[in-house]
């Protein structure tokens, strides 16, 4: 879990997100400060001289492990001729439960129905899934997948990539072109200012994969039919995290 958390926090996509957040905050502070000097002093509290933009995501990584400790492990073995690919953004957050309900918002590590997929080798992929929403189709911690399922997973890995997708020597050029259609655009995060009863809040929403993909190795529990899922807005959480100020 530490490996997955740190791998998720040290990508170019995360760095670019931090740059986006800094630029947003810089513009806001300069627009709402009396003088440029006041703005510089305020901004320096958030971004001191020499500050490394990756410090924040790396420093908070260990706390994110708490967010998915409740997920269940499944090892996916790929014995088919279609090997797994990977990308420069290899930790995939996917929510089959929400996408099947046509959810159009953003979901994160605390969302109900979360799946975390991490291809480790061309033949092995780790899957962490929400056990209250899904169960392993073969009731085991290890499952083998067909060529069709390996290809479906590769489509997700390609969709989650940021700038680069990596293939093995056994993949043909034709196969790479076939997956290119799933590298349609970058998954974009959003940063905006919202008003609340405690004042303005910067709301940063991470990017989410909202297309439907087949994951036959996990099955959605029938008991989830009674759960309400908004089409847009905050995704339902597995638990309520206590917030301190």
Q: pLDDT tens digits for 111-137?
A: 999 999 999 999 999 999 999 999 999
Question: How high is the pLDDT of residue 131?
Answer: 96
Instruction: Say what the pLDDT of residue 234 is.
Output: 82
The reported pLDDT for the residue numbered 240 is 55
This prediction's pTM: 0.87
Share of the chain above pLDDT 90, in %: 54
- Residue 138 clears pLDDT 50, i.e. is over it: yes
Question: Quick one: pLDDT band at residue 244, thresholds 50, 70, 90?
Answer: very low
- In the predicted model, what is the mean pLDDT of residues 158-177? 92
Could you please report the per-residue DSSP string of the chain?
Answer: -HHHHHHHHSSHHHHHHHHHHHHHHHHHHHHT-SSHHHHHHHHHHHS-TT--TTHHHHHTHHHHHGGGTTPEEEEEEE-SSS---EESS--EEE-HHHHHTT--S---TTBTT-EEEEE-SSSEEEEEE-TTTEEETTSSSEEEE-HHHHHHHHHHHHHH-SS-EE--TTS-HHHHHHHHTT--S----EEEEE--TTS-EEEEE-----S----TTEEE-GGGGGS---SSSSPPBSSPPP---
Encode pLDDT of 52-80 as tens digits. 989 888 888 888 888 888 999 999 999 99
pLDDT of residue 164 exceeding 50, the answer is yes
Instruction: Convert the pLDDT of each residue in 206-222 to its tens digit.
Output: 778 999 999 999 999 99
Task: With a cut of 70, say whether residue 223 has pLDDT above it.
Answer: yes
- Segment 81-106, tens digit of pLDDT: 999 999 999 999 999 999 999 998 88
């Amino acid at each position: 879990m530490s490996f997955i958390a740190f791998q998720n926090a040290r990508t170019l996509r995360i760095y670019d997100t931090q740059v986006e957040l800094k630029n947003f905050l810089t513009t806001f502070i300069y627009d709402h400060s009396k003088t440029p000097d006041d703005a510089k002093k305020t901004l320096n509290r958030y971004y001191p001289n020499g500050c490394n933009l990756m410090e924040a995501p790396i420093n908070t990584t260990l706390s994110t492990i708490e967010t998915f400790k409740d997920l269940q492990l499944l090892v996916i073995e790929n014995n088919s001729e279609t090997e797994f690919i990977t990308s420069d953004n290899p930790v995939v957050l996917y929510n089959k439960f929400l996408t099947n309900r046509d959810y159009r918002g953003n979901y994160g590590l605390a969302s109900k129905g979360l799946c975390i997929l991490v291809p480790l080798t061309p033949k092995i992929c780790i899957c962490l899934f929400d056990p209250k929403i899904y169960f392993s189709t073969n009731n085991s911690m290890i499952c083998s997948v067909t060529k069709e399922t390996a290809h479906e997973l590769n489509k997700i890995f390609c969709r989650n990539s940021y700038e680069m997708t990596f293939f093995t020597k056994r993949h043909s050029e034709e196969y790479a072109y076939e997956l290119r259609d799933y590298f349609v655009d970058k998954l974009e995060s959003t940063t905006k200012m919202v008003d609340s009863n405690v004042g303005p809040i910067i709301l940063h929403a991470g990017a989410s994969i909202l297309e439907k993909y087949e994951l036959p190795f996990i099955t959605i529990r029938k008991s989830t039919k009674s759960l309400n899922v908004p089409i847009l807005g905050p995704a339902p959480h597995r638990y309520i995290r206590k917030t301190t100020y």
